[in-house]
């Protein structure tokens, strides 16, 4: 029926991907390899292995990618201070290229002809996954069931599962949770349900990672974050691995009611979508990184970074992590981070992140002897400002004369 003999499926063990697994066999008469990624979503992944075994899968991959995710994807993105449309810290977007990368690696290891994802035909993830696949393996065959089948409702999925004896207990039974959720070490997202009405506020019970600011502790939490070449390496003097550092920031920030946003974003496929996101550690990290850059980056370098940041963020949001333009921008960004070394002190309190100190032993460009309001002992000659102002005002004066 087809030239597809083996498929690597991005598999969670839930209803959708369990149905997809059987549908691939029914439709393509092929062998299925399952791949489940641990990106720090906080779920027990062993049930996915059990479920795959129950369904007769012989090649099962469950990979702990937490350190790689934070070190090679989250941290490079945060060196750029990337924020999409002014608010979104790209928690879902940045996970997709890593999943795509590992799927392609497994396809090569197992001799698979194709890869398959469970993203719908309405969202951004289909684009992100497939741009990743093609960017890494140009000739790979891609199967996107939601664009092919007619199982376009939960009722039809359940009926298909029942007809083929697919167990749907445990993972995949949402217990009545009215949201579509996606989590990793950087964030957790919520879409659908009551959130499809942009006027309806999110319910407090929806949020899983953070206290509400109103219920956060009455006493502020102060922390120090150390940076080396633009990456955070320690909290309060304790060096931590990338994944452990982000996990600790998530706990500290979440306890203090930090990191919630409720936005309507512009999807790459053309529609607007409302999403709620919790990114507690990332919210703190962004503030801290900008603070250490404020004393270690030259003005024009900092401004150049800010100019390309929206483009960089859009490239990631739209799924072009493996593109030549992202790599080129990353090279520029990483070059600027050589001097971004030092410590930032922050105060976390009831949803707010306040920078209260920044220090760099070796790379600070802040010179108190020049900036002081006291006697600078001749470090700066204020008379120099007169010529500077007149030269910069020259075009304004000429234009003003002409308009009279």
Q: Reading across the β-sheet that carries 272-278, which strands appear in turn?
A: 180-183, 188-191, 272-278, 260-266
Catalytic residue among 125, 247, 290, 326: 125
Q: How far apart are CA 306 and CA 298, in angstroms?
A: 12
The structure tokens listed for 165 are 């004896």
- In the residue annotation, 125 being an active-site residue is answered as yes
304 CB-near residues (< 8 Å, 6+ apart)? 332, 336
Q: Which of 167, 180, 294, 364 is catalytic?
A: 180
> Which residue is catalytic, options 66, 96, 287, 326?
96
Q: Which one-letter DSSP state was computed for residue 203?
A: P
Query: Residues near 24 by Cβ (< 8 Å), separated by ≥ 6?
Result: 7, 9, 30, 32, 116, 143, 145
Closest by CA to 234, choosing from 219, 249, 220, is 249
> What gap in Å lies between CA 217 and CA 347, rounded to an integer?
13
Q: The dihedral of CA 184, 185, 186, 188: what is its sign?
A: positive
> In what helix (H) or strand (E) does residue 213 lie, and over which residues does it extend?
none
Spatial separation of the C-alpha atoms in residues 32 and 30, rounded to whole Å: 6
| Neighbour tally for 266: CB within 10 Å | 13
Asked about 156 being catalytic, the answer comes back as no
Task: For residue 99, give the nearest of 194, 220, 12, 199 by alpha carbon.
Answer: 12
Whether the CB-CB separation of 101 and 132 falls below 8 Å is answered with: yes
Q: Which residue from 390, 341, 348, 319 is spatially nearest to 234, judged by alpha carbons?
A: 341
DSSP notation for 144-170: -GGGT-S--SHHHHHHHHHHTT---SS
Query: Element (H or E) spanning 10, and its range?
Result: strand 6-10
Given the residues 16, 38, 226, 231, select the one marked as catalytic.
Answer: 16
Q: CB of 318 within 8 A of CB of 268? A: yes
Could you confirm whether 241 is annotated as catalytic?
no
Q: Catalytic site residue 164? A: no
DSSP-derived secondary structure letter, 88: B
Nearest to 104 by CA among 174, 20, 184, 7: 7
Tell me the catalytic residues.
Answer: 16, 96, 125, 180
């Amino acid at each position: 029926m087809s030239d597809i003999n083996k498929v690597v499926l991005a598999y969670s063990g839930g209803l959708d991907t369990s149905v997809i697994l059987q549908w691939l066999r029914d439709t393509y008469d092929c062998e299925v390899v399952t791949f489940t990624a641990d990106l720090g979503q906080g779920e027990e992944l062993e049930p996915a292995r059990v479920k795959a075994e129950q369904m007769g899968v012989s090649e099962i991959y469950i990979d702990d990618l937490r350190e790689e995710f934070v070190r090679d994807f989250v941290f490079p993105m945060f060196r750029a201070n990337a924020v999409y449309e002014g608010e979104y810290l790209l928690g879902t977007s940045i996970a997709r290229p890593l999943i795509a990368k590992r799927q392609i690696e497994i396809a090569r290891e197992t001799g698979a002809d194709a890869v398959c994802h469970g993203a719908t035909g309405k969202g951004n993830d289909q684009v992100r996954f497939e741009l990743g696949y093609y960017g890494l393996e140009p000739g790979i065959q891609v199967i996107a069931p939601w664009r092919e089948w007619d199982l376009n409702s939960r009722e039809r999925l359940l009926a298909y599962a029942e007809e083929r004896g697919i167990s749907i207990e445990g993972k995949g039974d949402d217990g009545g949770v009215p949201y579509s959720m996606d989590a990793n070490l950087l964030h957790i997202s919520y879409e659908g349900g009551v959130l499809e009405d942009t006027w309806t506020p999110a319910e407090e019970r929806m949020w899983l990672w953070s206290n509400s600011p109103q219920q956060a502790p009455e006493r502020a939490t102060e922390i120090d974050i150390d940076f080396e070449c633009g990456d955070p390496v320690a909290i309060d003097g304790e060096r931590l691995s990338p994944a452990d550092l982000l996990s600790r920031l998530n706990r500290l920030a979440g306890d203090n009611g930090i990191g919630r946003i409720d936005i309507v974003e512009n999807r790459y496929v053309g529609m607007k979508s409302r999403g709620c996101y919790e990114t507690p550690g990332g919210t703190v990290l962004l503030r801290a990184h900008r603070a250490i850059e404020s004393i270690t980056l030259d003005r024009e370098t900092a401004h150049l970074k800010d100019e390309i940041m929206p483009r960089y963020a859009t490239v990631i949001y739209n799924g072009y992590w493996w593109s030549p333009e992202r790599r080129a921008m990353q090279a520029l960004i990483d070059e600027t981070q050589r001097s971004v070394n030092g410590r930032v002190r922050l105060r976390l309190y009831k949803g707010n992140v306040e920078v209260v100190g920044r220090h760099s032993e070796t790379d600070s460009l802040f010179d108190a002897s020049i900036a002081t309001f006291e006697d600078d002992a001749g470090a700066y000659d204020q008379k120099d400002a007169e010529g500077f102002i007149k030269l910069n005002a020259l075009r304004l004066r000429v234009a003003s004369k002409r308009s009279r």
